[in-house]
Structure 1
């Protein structure tokens, strides 16, 4: 396993789609990278978006620290800003469903699905 920076170490990109902030994450979300995710969501919230989409499409491993960030930031943002997650597959959506986070935060299979739901 390499220690080179890059996708394996939790790369995070932030962008706007209309009045929605999208925080796209790739690689691993664990106790080392979770603070970067928390900071990115906080940064995305400063522009007063109507919603923040955390896109885990490219995430290969989601640890409990990453899930904790979702719960904490959901609590900080609600009800002013809606937080939703894009996750599909055993590495992301399955753990989110197993620990009950999918009961708190809306979960979508694709970014297009999430954006369509938020813009309707």
Structure 2
């Protein structure tokens, strides 16, 4: 069984998807942990794709769901809303970690006041260190 799953609409690893597209890649680096790597533009047009991918992860037995926004070039309010909904609806005993290493992505959370409400981390390592 592979530890990685690739979505057919996802980007080629290491490459950003075309403008207006969203790349999604799921990895399972450790048992009980699912990492959703998001790349491209997260806006009103692509937020439904993110919501569907996160719904699939929610149906998995993984206890830790980590959303890695390192490859996101634009993070709009629709994308933020999807992440807020996931955080609010996550079942007890499950953990969400959101990695927003870029200044622009982190700023989107900060200016909306979500940086204090969501489990937000500046690096993948920081997100996993708190487990």
Query: TM class by shorter-chain length?
Result: 0.7 to 0.9
| Structure 2, gaps ≥5 residues long | 1-9, 12-16
| Deviation (angstroms), 1:70 | 0.5
User: After TM superposition, what 4+ stretches of structure 1 lie above 6 angstroms from structure 2?
Assistant: none
1:13 matched to 2:44? The reply is no
In angstroms, what is the RMSD of aligned CA positions?
1.6
Gaps in structure 1 of 5+ consecutive residues: none
Which fold has the larger relative contact order, with Cα–Cα distance below 8 Å and residues 6 or more apart in sequence? Answer: 1
TM-score by length of 1: 0.86
Q: Can you list the C-alpha shifts for 1:26-85, whole angstroms capped at 9, x where unaligned?
A: 010001111111111111121221121110001100000000001111111143322111
Q: Which residue number in structure 2 is paired with residue 63 of structure 1?
A: 76
Pairs aligned (count): 114
**DSSP 3-state at the match of 1:54:** strand
